[in-house]
Structure 1
Amino acid sequence: MLIGGVAPGVAAAEERSEKSQSSVAESVLERFTLAYSLQPGEKIRYEVTHQAKTKTRIRGAEEVSQVHTISQRHWDVLPSSTDGEMTFEHTVDSVEMTQQQGEEDEIRWDSQSGNEPPSVFSLVAEQMGKKLATVTINTHGHEIKREDHAGSKASLGMGTLTLQLPEEPVAIGQSWTVPHEVKARLENGEIKIIKIQERYTLEKVQTGVANLSLRSEPLTPMRDESVRAQVVQQLSNGEIRFDIDNGRMLSKQLDWDETVIGFQGPNSLMEYRARMTEQLVDDVQRTAKRN
């Protein structure tokens, strides 16, 4: 008897062959280990640019605020007594800041200008050149220990200082997720915990550099638009380049493009457009030899 014009024995053999070929294909998929490799004595420098525009309309009154910041920061990598762990001190060296609120005059300040900072930037000015945190991570970028010395821990969706890398080697197209929580205040004053996960996907690997995509995915339903308006700055999509050979991030770009309608009444509106880029500065300095 023929099944679809093919004898049963032949059909079964072909099915086994297809499964075998699929299994072999999966087994030979090249997998890549993404891991940090920071050497004691290194001074790793990054330039971070953040620009954002927020437009709100409440009861017919519209206001636009804009910020633009360029900062230079670095990590001083310290000796570590534990295998598989790395410790670094995070310092912001300089910053150029611009802020404009509604119809008010634009406020500018460059920390290297020698000028007194406007009051709105006074807290930032106090942090220049100081250790903001001492952080210990494992090879996957997970924080083992963190001591904050100064400054705010607000992330604006930028996450932690390091990437949360997968614990196992990954193939191109494979994803992993990192959960975290943000807080939002309800109209009655209560605090609501919003669960979010960041989904990373390995898109491609070329000449030792892994290209990753990142997408924030809310897990907690947000039926109240006033809650969503507080959370959108924590939701970002972006691209990351990670140096597999040298074990560090080369660049990151995160984008926000959100519109919330009805967050303060039926005719209210909030639009949030922003971009954050972080770029490794090439002239990495080392004050001690690699082990």
Structure 2
Amino acid sequence: MLIHHPLRPTAGIAARIVAFGLTVVAGAITPAASPGETPAEKQQAGGPSVLVKADSNSPSETTGDETYLLRHKLNSNQKIRYEVTHVAKTKTRINGTEEIANVHTTSVRSWDVREVQPTEMTFDHQIESVSMTQKNGDQDEVRWDSVSGEQPPKIFSVVAEQIGKPLATVTINQKGDEIRRESHAGSKASLGMGALTLSLPAEPVSIGTKWTVPSEIQARTDDGLVKVIKIRQVYTLKKVKTGVATIDVKSETLTPITEESIKAQVVQQLSNGSIRFDIDNGYLLGKELNWDETVVGFQGAGSMMEYRARMTEELVANDTPTGGDTQSAKADSDAKQR
């Protein structure tokens, strides 16, 4: 889960660049927009994946033309839990005035599988716990841990109200495409964290094969209008070892961006990193995404934004009877490879 907090409003666009209100991503929690307001981080649901020819020069720990069918596989009454850590530093400078925002969040999210059909799987997605720290400029640091029993600071109250409750009931197919979603709280916003599920190719793939998933994100222009930016997520199967696939992911913008103010918003919503997927058991083992972006002139010649962030997501031991031992063993085995 990613907690994204706003800087103090030193200037309108500067505040929007860092965040448009308190947003929890991967947990998919976000407060409702003000009346008539469209959240700038809104990301539209992606379309079907498109297969791209394999790169024959891609390094591999496997040989030959072996192919792999990547599919999600869930079991009824199974619970899959992940620990998500997000660390971010955002620096803005406008006409000589500099401000720095630091955020550190660790959370545990889970999929509680309700029903499994031959071609569909339905699960409840929820946040079980969260520990949050933020510091904006020269303001005092704010901390809160949901397991402490203490009342949360006001800025974390939206998150606190939704911990332990289903955020959404989601039905996916074996490729990870969302068939249905009943949202109980929050939105689909992702801010570069990727969709709730990993989109997999329709056909078996070999090492070096790429597949793409189209998507859209939104940003605000200087005059307050919403601009739709078309992007695509490019996935590449880099290697397979002991049943674990390593997949690189990188976002590409398809819509030309000429305004630096738009670019400053968009760069935080793109993905760049790697994913580990358990081919045998059909679920995500881990993910790491990194951001290192600088935008000059987002609000005139005397302005600059630097955004440095890292997000990791790791499978944790399942404490339910179904699938727990298998998950723990695979996670331990995979950890020893790295």
- Shorter-chain TM-score category? 0.7 to 0.9
Matched, 1:177 2:212: yes
CA positional deviation for 1:83: 2.1
Task: Read off the aligned partner of 2:113 and give its amino acid letter.
Answer: V
- Which structure has the larger Rg? 1
- Distance across 2 between alignment mates of 1:268 and 1:203: 39
CA positional deviation for 1:284: 5.0
CA positional deviation for 1:113: 0.4
Task: Read off the aligned partner of 1:73 and give its amino acid letter.
Answer: R
Task: Read off the aligned partner of 2:315 and give its amino acid letter.
Answer: L
Task: Read off the aligned partner of 2:196 and give its amino acid letter.
Answer: L
Matched, 1:143 2:178: yes
- Distance across 2 between alignment mates of 1:150 and 1:166: 30
Checking the alignment, whether the CA contact within 8 Å between 2:257 and 2:263 is kept in structure 1 is yes
Matched, 1:282 2:317: yes
State which of 65, 70, 79 in structure 1 corresponds to 2:115.
79
- Distance across 2 between alignment mates of 1:33 and 1:232: 32
State which of 38, 54, 57 in structure 1 corresponds to 2:90.
54
Cα pair distance change 1:288/1:175, threshold 3 Å: closer
**Aligned match of 2:128:** 93
Identity %: 62
**Aligned match of 2:79:** 43
TM-score (norm 1): 0.87
Matched, 1:31 2:67: yes
1:60-112 Cα deviation digits (max 9, x unpaired): 100000111000111110123x4210000011010000000001111000000
Q: CA RMSD in A?
A: 1.5
| Runs of 5+ unmatched residues, structure 1 | 1-21, 23-27
CA positional deviation for 1:154: 2.4
State which of 139, 144, 164 in structure 1 corresponds to 2:199.
164
Aligned length: 262
CA positional deviation for 1:187: 1.6
Cα pair distance change 1:251/1:284, threshold 3 Å: farther
CA positional deviation for 1:188: 2.4
- Distance across 2 between alignment mates of 1:263 and 1:55: 13
**Aligned match of 1:12:** none
Checking the alignment, whether the CA contact within 8 Å between 1:238 and 1:254 is kept in structure 2 is yes
Matched, 1:233 2:268: yes
- Distance across 2 between alignment mates of 1:40 and 1:223: 49
**Aligned match of 2:254:** 219
State which of 246, 271, 274 in structure 1 corresponds to 2:281.
246
1:249-284 Cα deviation digits (max 9, x unpaired): 000001111100000011100000111111011235
1:163-183 Cα deviation digits (max 9, x unpaired): 011111100001000111011
Checking the alignment, whether the CA contact within 8 Å between 2:79 and 2:318 is kept in structure 1 is no
Matched, 1:68 2:95: no
Matched, 1:107 2:142: yes
- Distance across 1 between alignment mates of 2:257 and 2:321: 47
State which of 125, 143, 151 in structure 2 corresponds to 1:116.
151
CA positional deviation for 1:288: 9.2
CA positional deviation for 1:152: 4.0
- Distance across 2 between alignment mates of 1:62 and 1:172: 46
| Runs of 5+ unmatched residues, structure 2 | 1-55, 57-63, 325-338
Checking the alignment, whether the CA contact within 8 Å between 2:194 and 2:271 is kept in structure 1 is no
Task: Read off the aligned partner of 2:154 and give its amino acid letter.
Answer: S
Q: Which has the higher strand share?
A: 1
Instruction: Specify the SS of the correspondent of 2:148.
Output: coil
**Aligned match of 1:262:** 297
